[in-house]
Amino acid sequence: MFTRDKISTGTPYYQRCLFVCILAGLLNGCSSNVPELIKKAPPGNIQISEVHQAAGRFKHSRVRWGGTIIRVDNLKESTLIEVLARSLASEGKPDSGSDGQGRFMVKVKGFLDPEEYPKDRLLTVTGSVTQAIERSVGDYSYTYPVVEAEVYFLWPEEKDYPYRYYRDPFYDPWYPFGYRYPYYW
């Protein structure tokens, strides 16, 4: 029979558990919910301007595009999302401050609620170019490349706070060497 005196335990059990919990917390904090297919561009990295010039040449090509949602149309068995293309950052997030690069459609199987995919939200999609459809933008006839979505990601809404930095109204950088405001203190 083993007794506690004869077993060499090394580090105490609670220290090992604490180390594992801290490590798991750090790894969880570093992880991202962005899908891998969105983070990495497919080989060739075909741009939307290339497809606009010769849509037939890029049929069935894999692309990763993103931009700002313009409109969501639900069809009988799928959903078409009209997107204004924007340049993508390193992890595939569209740069909302960049100029538009053209428009494209994202075809998603099934129903997507337009309230969950509202206008001006950022969306990134990875899929293949299947066709080009013609629709009007105002009175102008526009040709949209259609991307059959393999993976799509709706980026979280960014909050814009009018006051980013809080400043104490009684803060005086010269306090130890000068006068303290207000004078009656």
pLDDT tens, residue by residue, 50-95:
888 877 788 888 999 999 999 999 999 999 999 999 999 878 889 8
Under DSSP, the state recorded for 177 is T
Query: 51 or 22: whose pLDDT is higher?
Result: 51
Peptide bond between residue 182 and the one before it cis (omega within 30 degrees of 0) = yes
Topology, domain 36-154: OB fold (Dihydrolipoamide Acetyltransferase, E2P) (2.40.50)
What are the structure tokens assigned to 130, written together? 């299947």
pLDDT of residue 118: 92
Helix boundaries (H) for 34-141: 36-39, 48-53
Query: 149 or 160: whose pLDDT is higher?
Result: 149
Tell me which range, 11-15, 29-33, 34-38, 76-80, is most confidently predicted by mean pLDDT: 76-80
pTM over the 0.85 mark = no
Query: 165 or 69: whose pLDDT is higher?
Result: 69
pLDDT of residue 115: 92
Is the separation of the CB atoms in 86 and 68 below 8 Å?
yes
For the cut 70, the answer to whether the pLDDT of residue 9 exceeds it is no
pLDDT of residue 95: 87
pLDDT of residue 24: 64
Q: Which residues of 58-90 are buried (b: 16+ CB within 10 A; e: fewer)?
A: beebbbbbbbbbeebeeeeeebbbbbbbbebee
